[in-house]
Chain A
């Protein structure tokens, strides 16, 4: 196609004014839409004072918190102002009551060496001097002048404060040196004492020994078998609280199940009275529909708060909240499904002279029950996820436990443990529900095909 001249363009434009002179709103609505969105976002930026929030935020904490999800640290402290240097561990450290880790070494010459990452990252000290080794350099520190002083150059991973020298050694930990003490933080990958806590007689024993004890060992606690003792120790692990966590998780599952099921049971008959094409009275239909809207709009949170106050915190309140919301949601979806059914089977049954109830039973139910079940399963699935959140306001289940574990900002490994369990549960229930719904739609498909074959 040869190029087009300006005259020809003008000729075409005059021939087709409707194409080239479209109303401005038609031509520019995408621009307007984008402009509107941008304006709104600007407003939101101001409304949430985002620049300020971001300026005051502590992003450096994020990697720290995330690393705490899958690791734990030990913090031995060495007092230098006592007659003899001895390591002290925090009271509930993961090492138990008699810690003697092999990475704290008392050298023959009286100095101590703490290996943070083997010998490559370590600190060696006595009462007069300390030497921090990392990244291929050794930083000598003199402690005699009433102050900790570095002799020589200060590498960038060491910060010198007034009375303290801090060496950050990356993920593996850090060393803090003052005149009268050396503090070490050493980080380990993994979860400490996940199976047995420090009070358990099985603590610190290798798995093979634990198993042989359980299978054929002498009773560690007279009167109980070792298996029962191990199970009890595991279940009541003070740090991980397996028993409590799993019970709470079960509560969350129960809340979603019970709430959805009861909601379905109540919504089922009501939907027939609310469906425009089935209801005996138009007024009743309207009233019921507004009732469904009401139950939905009052919102699960409000119900949860009310029932927590009425019954006290726990899964009963959560179930009741989901139950009330689901009456609304399921009632609405059921009645919409009923309004969308094909009228022919109903008329067919009606023409046999059956009474109203029988008409519903044989003309309507076979069509809508699979749809009802499928929608209920979908709600069940989404409530399993929702039950986690409302739990946090006191309605029982894992939510509250998660929230409390997070509040202290120190228990991220426990949080991650619960998150993993929750993910597992959501995953399993998603799949069960998907499987059932697929089965159901196949049944529905077969049913329709049979109907079609019969003509």
Chain B
């Protein structure tokens, strides 16, 4: 597969909920291997955009292409195969709380296998090992047999990432992956996303609420306001004025302080994207 072919193309996509237009006429092209951050005020349509890419929501107009196929018109099992290739991570983790962590991670494989063997819950030894490897990389292998609901938020989000990795995706969408996490956990999660992006060359598109996180991790930032793209460029180009157009000055004209939307914590050193996929990313035990 050539680098230029696995491009995610969003062409003139619009989504309306009743009279309310959540996303209006968006045109973006994301080449393979980019790490893109989408910023914007609450209600700007960020989640709706990501959910349309994964097809949890259907566009009212326009189309989405990946690798030359129009994914916005898929139905049935080709649709589910696209959803497998396009993993999604949610703000609320969306794990199955009563199932144990290992099973939750294995669920990422559902679309690779036959429905019957899925329903019987028969996962192979290799798949189990791969799931554990993914958990090891995210440093939560020791929780493997706990019910997912009993984990902390940060741990759950890492389980969700491990599940996404099990999908062996080509694109990873993350809808505010760190919005309900404390700064430390937020950093761990963002680091893992970057690690995946660098090591596997997977395209990552993530919604973020914090400007400095977007600056620190993403190579490209898309700013949305009222359903439209108002900024699309490198983090360096995101100056004060563009921030104001993205977030809009509030009624009293107060400036948006970057400190408010900041999550910076400096603890552990950043992981480097080098180790093979099977070595624990955090060899702590």
Contacts and interface: CB of A to CB of B under 8 A. Distances in A.
Contacts, number: 41
Nearest to B202: A1
A1 B102 contact: no
Contacts of B145: 18-19, 22
Given A16-B144, A19-B102, A19-B144, A2 B277 contact: yes
Among A13, A19, A22, the one with the most B-chain Cβ atoms within 10 Å of its Cβ is A19
Contact of A4 (B141, B200, B278): B278
A445 B165 CA distance: 46
Contacts of A22: 145
17 contacts: A1-B134, A1-B166, A1-B168, A1-B200, A1-B277, A4-B133, A8-B133, A9-B125, A9-B129, A11-B278, A12-B278, A15-B136, A16-B141, A16-B144, A19-B128, A19-B132, A30-B121
B281 to A, nearest CB: 13
Given A18-B145, A19-B144, A12 B132 contact: yes
Secondary structure dominating the interface of A: helix
A4 B132 CA distance: 12
Nearest to B166: A1
Contacts of B134: 1
A64 B141 CA distance: 65
Contacts of A2: 277
A49 B128 CA distance: 45
Interface string B150-182: 000000000000000110100000000000000
Given A1-B166, A9-B129, A12-B133, 20 more contacts: A1-B165, A1-B277, A4-B130, A4-B278, A8-B129, A8-B278, A9-B125, A11-B278, A12-B129, A12-B132, A12-B136, A12-B278, A16-B132, A16-B144, A18-B145, A19-B128, A19-B141, A19-B145, A22-B145, A30-B121
Contacts of B277: 1-2
Top 4 A-B pairs ranked by shortest CB distance?
A: A9-B129, A12-B129, A8-B278, A19-B144
A22 B128 CA distance: 13
Interface in B111-143: 121, 125-126, 128-130, 132-134, 136, 141
Interface of B: 102, 121, 125-126, 128-130, 132-134, 136, 141, 144-145, 165-166, 168, 200, 277-278
Nearest to A16: B132
Nearest to B169: A1
A20 interface: yes
Nearest to A22: B145
Contacts of B126: 4, 9
A4 B168 contact: no
Interface in A320-373: none
Interface residues on A, range: 10 to 19
Contacts of B125: 9
B129 A13 contact: yes
A16 B134 CA distance: 13
Contacts of A18: 145
Interface in A48-96: none
B225 to A, nearest CB: 36
Contacts of B141: 15-16, 19
A28 to B, nearest CB: 12
Nearest to A20: B128
A30 B129 CA distance: 22
Nearest to A19: B144
Contacts of B278: 4, 8, 11-12
A16 B129 CA distance: 10
A21 to B, nearest CB: 12
Given A16-B144, A19-B144, A19-B145, A1 B130 contact: yes
A1 B141 CA distance: 18
A162 to B, nearest CB: 56
A30 B278 CA distance: 31
Nearest to B132: A12
Nearest to A8: B278
A18 B102 CA distance: 12
Contacts of A1: 130, 134, 165-166, 168, 200, 277
A68 to B, nearest CB: 43
B189 to A, nearest CB: 18
A20 B144 CA distance: 11
B200 to A, nearest CB: 7
Contacts of A19: 102, 128, 132, 141, 144-145
A1 B93 CA distance: 22
Nearest to A11: B278
A4 B130 CA distance: 7
